[in-house]
A and B are shown apart, each in its own frame.
Chain A
Amino acid sequence: MTETTAGSLVPEVDRLVIRFAGDSGDGMQLVGERFTTASALFGNDLATLPEYPAEIRAPAGTLAGVSAFQVHISDHDIFTPGDAPHVLVAMNPAALKAELGTLIDGGTVIVNTDTFVERNLVKAGYEHDPLEGDDLAAYRVIRVPMTSLTKEACKDLGVKTRDAERSKNFFALGLLSWMYSRPVEPTLEWIDAKFKGRDLIIAANRTAFNAGHAFGETAELSDHQVIVRPAKMPAGTYTNINGNTALAWGLVAAGHLSGLPIFLGSYPITPASDILHELSKHKQFNVATFQAEDEIAAIGSALGAAYGGHLGVTATSGPGLALKGETMGLAISLELPLIIVNIQRGGPSTGLPTKTEAADLLMAMYGRHGESPMPVIAARTPADCFDQAIEAARIAIKYRTPVILLSDGYLANSSEPWLLPNVEDLEPIPVEFASGFNKVDEKGEEVFWPYLRDENMARPWAVPGTPDLMHRIGGLEKEDGSGNVSYDGANHAHMMALRAERIARIQVPDAEVSGDADADLLLIGWGSTWGAIAAAVRRVRRSGRKVAHVHLTHLNPMPANLGEVLSGFSRILVPEMNLGQLVRLLRDEFLVDAQPVAKVTGQPFTPAELQQVILSELGDDT
């Protein structure tokens, strides 16, 4: 690890939020990720928030084409990608215009001055050059002609001018790496590995990176230089992980722990496709991935595989979940294990496909015809996606039921350091296939009844190929026990009650109160709001006020003690990235006066927003 500033008198800060912004083609996501990796290896705690447009190549230079990546690094444990950034890197006028408003007052703006020409200014909607005049008076502005400096640095490499220009993002990364004392080796090694075999590109990117680094040193930017020291984290080995990768690995782990082959049926959809991509790379784990012709075939094939004794999984986003509704109903009727992953995004319809939202909770709970209860769980952080994928498999296999696992676009793409679990410590998932007759009929003959139940009210998982157990199942109502088609009204009522009860009886951990258990005010959340709520609660408590926090991972069934927990608070707020869905469930189930706190702007809550909400609820909005 190169340490450019170790031992020097660089001022320290406890945390820093940096936002990289540029045109979609400027490579800002890549730069953000590299900066994040370097920070992770340096030992900071961190959280990231990538944001990119729905168009692959929106018109260059326009506001619509701005792609941004925010990273929050700190010397202590943090829960979110931060509030307003302290530093904005703007690679063109559109990025400056779109993102400047997010910056804190007095923050630092680093601009690529080469792009501030008439044509780009017009595209961004500027009537004058913001670099001249008072637009940026409230900020510390670092003007760097990144494009021309990159071209100049690369001129002797034999690289085409246009290719050299494209390396300007590495110039920016080099500059930022110097300003914030990031190690350089991981980035240089990454460049070598990523562009292996393309020596000119390696040379250009390395040269640009080093030139940016050197620029910081030589251009006397040292008064801008700060360092964020490594965080004190629990001992162990860490990796920086995003939610979709963690979720895919959790599914691989579920296969490992259960001994079952994984079958993923999936249809490409943002922001869930990376689960398909990731699992497709790991077939050697007895993982099959099937890119189906549509969302319905995706879940249908997964259900077919589940019937055959594999761990069937389908991964999608909201519009896809809507299409899978009928097959989920069949899976409920067949009582087979199945995992349905929904990476939520802004809706309805195509909505905001690349932005986050968590407005599918009610669809997950109720979005099927008939009475069709299903377990629903939600991940809280990127790394938690790993644990909840395993939990979904555990519930599905143990109780022979389809399970919905909710994540969202924010968790899917943002990343955080993850203390890697010891594989040997993960609890195995027992699997039991039916292997013989389970009933003696009236004639005294041994028979197999596909709907006889075990102590968990789960029916036998009798896979084709097993001698003697030939049986027919289907979506028609069946007689309890024998599984024969039954149109009897009383039996149907019995089966409805039974399907409800067997889901309601699923054992889930009790709800735990964090913060002040004796507070008047409780914040209760689910999914990715955990980070912002936890950070806001921590800040408020540090200021001496009392507030409590409950997080729900299990949304159906809910923890058995939840009613009792809620009854201990006189005021309950429910922050959600929807217009109030969990709050309805809580009011319905527990008759409590819970109040919604909604955010549906396509971005996650920030701790500052929720801090303000809490303080104003506590009667102190100063």
Chain B
Amino acid sequence: MTDTLLPEETSEDVPVTTRADWQSDQEVRWCPGCGDYSILTALQLLMPDIGARREKTVFVSGIGCAARFPYYMNTYGMHSIHGRAPAIATGLALARPDLDVWVVGGDGDMLSIGGNHLIHALRRNIDINILLFNNQIYGLTKGQFSPTSEKGKVTKSSPIGSCATPFNPVSVAIGAEASFVARTHDMDRRHMQEMFRRAYEHPGASIVEVYQNCNVFNDGAFETITKKDVRDDMLIPLRHGEPIRFGTEGQFGVARHDGGVEVVEVADVGLDALLVHDETRSDPSTAFALSRLAESPDRPTPVGVFRAVDRGEYGVAMRAQTDQMAAMKGKGDLSALLHSLPTWTV
């Protein structure tokens, strides 16, 4: 079923656009200083570069601060229901494989009320790009702990500390059979753009966790790893085919240890002992182990593409079944259908 409702155009026809073409006429209304601004800017600047067409691009969001994102993109957009964006985007992407469908949401939206839809969209490998803005707090409802808040977090709804262990979104995504999983942060535009581009180019479901600062309700949550002067020692860049190494002098690395991975000093173990990152490994256990390196963003934390594997995309398989059934049964004939059970004539 390739029912593009409009004539397909080739990529050569993509008109040249600028950032301004991707900006809607709506006033951006996030709090001044919010990390969402830099994510929006990164994406608006990137879109002209990746060969996307505005009329073929749809942003679907749920509810929350991050979910206001579609209003600010001059594309098609739907600001839907808390948690349901992956489900709505699934229907849209399956119906319209000619579209680029993006899903934007926060940690509460995607991992709490919408957790079920997120994991199933990833499992099915629906052709959507999911941007998960993780600020570890509920912002739009004014500051309750979220499913990614650290245990013991003191908020309005947890005056003496929250009791729950947080989700690690990258671990959740890998556990949900995601075929593309990456992490980036709102302080590094170029890195964000690289991750968004990779997500866009990946066939099937892609998810990018963006560490995003909420300067009103959870200011500085990621400061210990993303501030310019600590970044080199606290962020572990994952680069496909390269030994995993970080630190101002490249003095740290990641090596296998006891069935998992651990941070090591290169001087202690030698360069050859470092784990060479392979994002295409079909077994997800090493990617999962990497996601467990930092329990919370106060220890060295991997950023980059954890996993990028080719896995059958749901929509492709679904359309193949349509073709298969058409081959078996011929083109649909309504009159024949109505006469397909035993009939008699009076």
A residues near B (Cβ < 8 Å) are 37, 40-41, 43, 186, 233-241, 245, 249, 252-253, 256, 261, 263, 265, 282-288, 290, 292-294, 296-297, 300-310, 312, 326-327, 330, 334, 420-423, 433, 463-476, 484-485
Q: Is the CB of B329 within 8 A of A284?
A: yes
* Residue pair B326, A283 in contact (C-beta under 8 Å): yes
Given A304-B91, A472-B70, A472-B76, 7 more A-B residue pairs with CB atoms under 8 Å apart are A186-B342, A239-B338, A239-B344, A252-B332, A308-B92, A326-B81, A467-B55
- The verdict on B56 contacting chain A, using a C-beta distance below 8 Å, is yes
The answer to whether the Cβ of B60 comes within 8 Å of any Cβ in the partner chain is: yes
List of B residues within 8 angstroms of A327 by Cβ: 81, 84
Instruction: Produce 1/0 per residue, B164-175, CB < 8 A to A.
Output: 000000000000
Query: Which A residues are CB-close (under 8 A) to B78?
Result: 307, 334, 472-474
Query: Cβ of A474: which chain B residues have Cβ within 8 Å of it?
Result: 70-71, 77-80
Bound complex: CA A13 to CA B198 (Å) = 76
Q: Name which of B145-153, B226-234, B244-252, B317-325 contacts chain A.
A: B317-325
Tell me which residues across on chain A come within 8 A of B321, comparing CB atoms. Answer: 283
Q: Tell me the interface secondary structure of chain A in the complex.
A: mixed
6 CB contacts below 8 A, A to B, read A240-B341, A282-B325, A283-B1, A283-B321, A308-B91, A485-B26
Q: A464's contact among B99, B328, B339, B344, by CB below 8 Å, is which?
A: B99
Answer whether residue B346 sits at the interface, using C-beta atoms and an 8 A cutoff.
yes
Q: Which of B54, B318, B345, B346 has the most A CB atoms < 10 Å from its CB?
A: B346
CB contact under 8 A between A470 and B120, given known A282-B332, A284-B322, A484-B26: no
**B337 proximity list for chain A (CB < 8 A):** 249, 252, 282, 285
Mask, B43-81, CB within 8 Å of A = 1, is 000000000001111101001000000110111111111
> In the bound complex, what is the Cα–Cα distance between A128 and B76 (angstroms)?
74
Tell me if A261 and B81 are in contact (CB < 8 A): no
Q: CA of A157 to CA of B96 in the docked complex: distance in angstroms?
A: 56
Known: A464-B55, A464-B58, A473-B77. A420 touches B95 (CB 8 A): no
Q: Is the beta-carbon distance between A304 and B89 smaller than 8 angstroms?
A: yes
Is B5 interfacial (CB 8 A cutoff)?
A: yes
Q: Is the CB of A256 within 8 A of B332?
A: yes
- Separation of A499 and B343 alpha carbons in the complex (Å): 45
- Residues of B contacting A463 in the complex (Cβ-Cβ under 8 angstroms): 5, 96
Question: In the bound complex, do residue B345 and residue A238 qualify as a contact, i.e. CB atoms below 8 Å apart?
Answer: yes
Determine if B94 is an interface residue (Cβ-Cβ < 8 Å).
Answer: yes
Q: Which of A237, A282, A294 contacts B116 (CB 8 A)?
A: A294
Q: Smallest CB–CB gap between B277 and chain A, Å?
A: 32
Q: Is B270 interfacial (CB 8 A cutoff)?
A: no
- Bound-state CA distance A235–B346 (Å) is 5
Determine the distance from Cα of A293 to Cα of B3 in the docked complex, in whole angstroms.
25
- Show the binding face of B for A, using Cβ within 8 Å: 1, 3-6, 24, 26, 54-58, 60, 63, 70-71, 73-81, 84, 87-96, 98-99, 116-117, 120, 318, 321-322, 325-326, 328-332, 334-335, 337-339, 341-346
Contacts of A256 in B (CB 8 A): 332, 334
Q: How far is the CB of B5 from chain A (nearest CB, A)?
A: 5
Residue of B79, B99, B329 with most partner-chain A CB within 10 A:
B79
- Tell which of B91, B325, B344 has the most Cβ of chain A within 10 Å: B91
Known: A40-B342, A297-B120, A466-B6. A485 touches B71 (CB 8 A): yes
Q: Which interface residue of A237, A256, A283 has the most chain B CB atoms within 10 A?
A: A283
Are A288 and B56 touching (Cβ within 8 A)?
A: no
Q: Is the CB of A465 within 8 A of B4?
A: yes
In the complex, the answer to whether B88 meets A476 with C-beta atoms within 8 Å is no
Contact B326 A284 (CB under 8 A): yes
What is the bound-complex CA distance between A306 and B94, given in angstroms? Answer: 11
Which chain B residues border A484 with CB–CB below 8 Å?
A: 26
Assess whether B3 is in contact with A297, with CB atoms less than 8 Å apart: no
Given the interface pairs A237-B343, A464-B96, the reply to whether A433 lies near B5 with Cβ below 8 Å is yes
- Residues of the B chain whose Cβ atoms lie less than 8 Å from the Cβ of A297: 84, 87, 90, 116-117, 120
Selected contact of A237 from candidates B60, B76, B87, B339, CB within 8 Å: B339
CA distance A88 to B342 in the complex (A): 26
Measured CA separation A37–B341 after assembly (Å): 10
* Closest residue on chain B to residue A424 by CB atoms: B335
A427 and B125 CA atoms in complex are apart in Å by: 39
A308–B5 Cα distance when bound, in Å, is 9
Question: Once the chains bind, are A308 and B96 in contact (CB under 8 Å)?
Answer: yes
B164 shortest CB reach to chain A, Å: 23
Contact A288 B344 (CB under 8 A): no
Contact B24 A304, beta carbon cutoff 8 Å: no
Q: Which residue of B lies closest to A426 (CB)?
A: B334
Closest to A476 in B: B79
A465 and B96 form a contact (CB under 8 A): yes
Shortest Cβ gap from A283 to chain B (Å): 4
Q: Which residues of B contact A468 (CB under 8 A)?
A: 55
The interface residues of chain B lying within 8 Å CB-to-CB of A470 are 54-55, 74-77
Q: List residues of chain B with CB within 8 A of the CB of A261.
A: 1, 3, 95
The 4 closest A-B pairs by CB, nearest first: A474-B79, A304-B91, A301-B91, A285-B332
With A294-B116, A470-B74 already in contact, the answer to whether A475 and B79 are too (CB < 8 A) is yes
Residues of B within 8 A of A241 (CB): 341
Please tell me which one of the listed residues A286, A334, A466 contacts residue B3 in the complex, with CB atoms under 8 A apart.
Answer: A286
Measured CB to CB, the closest approach of chain A to B284, in angstroms, equals: 21
Closest to A42 in B: B344
Within 8 Å CB of B54, what residues of A?
Answer: 470
Which residues of the partner chain B approach A421 to less than 8 Å between Cβ atoms?
338
CB proximity of A438 to chain B, nearest CB, Å: 16
In whole angstroms, what is the CA distance A186 to B343 when docked?
11
CB-CB under 8 A from B328, the residues of chain A are 284
Q: Are B26 and A286 in contact, with the CB atoms below 8 A?
A: no
Contact between chains at A239 and B339 (CB < 8 Å): yes
* Max chain B Cβ within 10 angstroms of own Cβ: one of A249, A292, A307: A307
- A305 to B315: give the CA distance in the assembly, Å: 13
Complex alpha-carbon distance, A40 and B80, angstroms = 49
User: Which residue, of A238, A293, A302, A327, has the highest number of chain B Cβ atoms within 10 A?
Assistant: A293
**B91 touching A302 by the CB < 8 A rule?**
yes
Which chain B residues border A306 with CB–CB below 8 Å?
91
Nearest Cβ in chain B — how far from A554, in angstroms?
A: 25
Is A238 a contact of B96 with CB atoms below 8 Å? no
Question: Are A234 and B346 closer than 8 Å at their CB atoms?
Answer: yes
A300 CA to B114 CA, complexed, in Å: 12
Contact for B91 among A265, A284, A420, CB less than 8 A: A265
**Is B334 a contact of A475 with CB atoms below 8 Å?**
no
- Most B Cβ at <10 Å: residue of A288, A312, A467: A288
Q: Which residue of B lies closest to A285 (CB)?
A: B332
B99 contacts A239, CB within 8 Å?
no
Find out whether the CB atom of A283 lies under 8 angstroms from the CB atom of B80.
Answer: no
Contacts of B346 in A (CB 8 A): 43, 233-238
Q: Contact at A236–B99, with CB atoms within 8 Å?
A: no
Report yes or no: A472 in contact with B24, Cβ–Cβ below 8 A.
yes
Give, as a whole number of angstroms, the nearest-CB distance from A152 to chain B.
32
When the two chains form the complex, which single residue of A304, A310, A469, A475 contacts B87, counting CB atoms closer than 8 Å? A304
Q: A237-B339, A464-B58 are in contact. Are A293 and B116 (CB under 8 A)?
A: yes
Most chain-A Cβ atoms within 10 A of its Cβ — which of B54, B84, B93? B84
Indicate whether A284 sits within 8 Å of B330 (C-beta atoms), given known contacts A240-B342, A470-B76. yes
Across the interface, which residues of A come within 8 angstroms of B58, CB to CB? 464
Q: Give the residues in chain B near A265, CB-CB below 8 Å.
A: 91
* Chain A contacts for B116, CB-based, 8 A: 293-294, 297
Partner of A308, one of B87, B95, B322, B344: B95
Chain B minimum-CB-distance residue to A330: B81
- Residue in A closest to B330 when the chains form the complex, CB atoms: A284
Q: How many Å lie between the Cα of A386 and that of B298 in the bound state? A: 61
